[in-house]
């Protein structure tokens, strides 16, 4: 993703109001340590002959079945409230010390920002989720000292991560001794903007097949074969792999024939294509198969049309759908 690609990043977010929920204040009858803190007052023992995990109270030395998925810590938590050999002041002191330790933990804002940027990328989340008041309140509750970044900061962090990963990929592509294969296709957005996607496929040093998107960027009109080939050559030159191409796979659009011929003549100037480019163009088998199926469907075109019209008729009314299901159940029972 170069600067052209970044300029085409568009983020959308849909906010929805949720009625506030009242939360009861916690009871202040007696301080009880959290589940993980209970073990400050108990000693874990080796399991018995049946494999049941056990724990011994450090105060009264009483042994309980505790720990593991079967027993958990609920039993020893209840004992901790009633044990006369452990001062409750000690429990409160332990909690206070733990809270002090947690409060003194320092969170690296840079690491937190990069981790959140990764979450946004992998989860395909909108940048403006960081502007949501409830989300910010949740983060503040978990870590009062963490300063949450703005949407622009997150966007900049993602671009920085992309540049770093792109540099790593470029280094790999340049260093591998073998050639790489390409696939490319055009895509039109809902706003009728054209985009081109260029993907590389190669075998790495561990003999594992890798597929990486090199570019997904805006492709302005006209989408002629010459313009497409010029764009692909520009992208390949930026990645410094224009002399390492083995083949390219495109669909069967008529403009792609012109695109391939121009690519071959340009890339093979210094004889960089194997066998003069004899194996350079690989037609998309999935597209060919789709054309075969579409052509075969013409034989039963009338039946398919009636089925589609029937489905559309049923979906327009819930009562029709209910009646159809009743008829289907009657027929199924015959």
pLDDT at 229: 94
DSSP state of 138: H
Average pLDDT over residues 300-321: 91
CA distance 226 to 241: 20
pLDDT in tens, 229-274: 999 999 999 999 999 999 999 988 888 999 999 999 998 887 889 8
Confidence (pLDDT) at 96: 58
String of b and e for 79-112 (b: at least 16 CB within 10 Å)?
A: bbeebeebeeeebeebbeeeeeeeeeeeeeeeeb
Count of residues making up the chain: 334
pLDDT at 88: 54
Separation of alpha carbons 251 and 24, rounded Å: 61
pTM over 0.75: no
Q: Are 58 and 41 in contact (CB under 8 A)?
A: yes
- Domains of the chain, earliest start first: 35-104 (no CATH), 107-175 (no CATH), 177-289 (3.30.420), 300-332 (no CATH)
- Residue for token pair 């622009």: 152
Q: What are phi and psi of 149, to 5 degrees?
A: -75, 160
């Amino acid at each position: 993703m170069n600067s052209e690609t970044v300029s085409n990043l568009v983020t959308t977010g849909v906010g929805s109001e949720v009625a506030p929920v009242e939360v009861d204040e916690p009871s202040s009858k007696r301080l009880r340590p959290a589940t993980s803190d209970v073990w400050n007052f108990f000693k874990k023992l080796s399991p018995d002959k049946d494999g049941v995990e056990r724990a011994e109270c450090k105060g009264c030395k009483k042994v309980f079945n505790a720990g593991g998925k079967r027993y958990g810590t609920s039993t020893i938590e209840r004992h901790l409230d009633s044990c006369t050999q452990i001062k409750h002041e000690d429990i409160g002191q332990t909690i206070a010390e733990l809270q002090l330790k947690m409060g003194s933990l320092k969170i690296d804002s840079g690491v937190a920002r990069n981790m959140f940027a990764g979450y946004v990328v992998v989860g395909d989340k909108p940048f403006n989720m960081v502007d949501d008041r409830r989300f910010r309140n949740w983060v503040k509750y978990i870590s009062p000292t963490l300063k949450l970044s703005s949407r622009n900061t997150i966007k900049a962090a993602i671009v920085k991560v992309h540049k770093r990963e792109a540099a790593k990929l470029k280094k790999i592509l340049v260093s591998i001794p073998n050639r790489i294969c390409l696939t490319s296709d055009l895509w039109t957005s809902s706003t009728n903007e054209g985009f081109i996607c260029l993907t590389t496929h190669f075998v790495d040093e561990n003999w594992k097949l890798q597929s990486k998107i090199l570019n997904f960027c805006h492709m302005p009109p006209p989408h002629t074969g010459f313009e497409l080939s010029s764009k692909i050559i520009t992208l390949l030159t930026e990645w410094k792999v224009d002399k390492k191409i083995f083949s390219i796979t495109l669909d069967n659009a008529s403009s792609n024939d012109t695109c391939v011929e121009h690519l071959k003549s340009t890339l093979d100037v210094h004889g960089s294509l194997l066998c003069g480019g004899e194996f350079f163009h690989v037609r998309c088998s999935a597209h060919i198969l789709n054309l075969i199926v579409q052509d075969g469907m013409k034989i039963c075109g009338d039946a398919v049309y009636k089925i589609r019209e029937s489905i559309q008729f049923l979906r327009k009314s819930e009562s029709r759908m209910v009646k159809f299901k009743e008829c289907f159940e009657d027929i199924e029972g015959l």
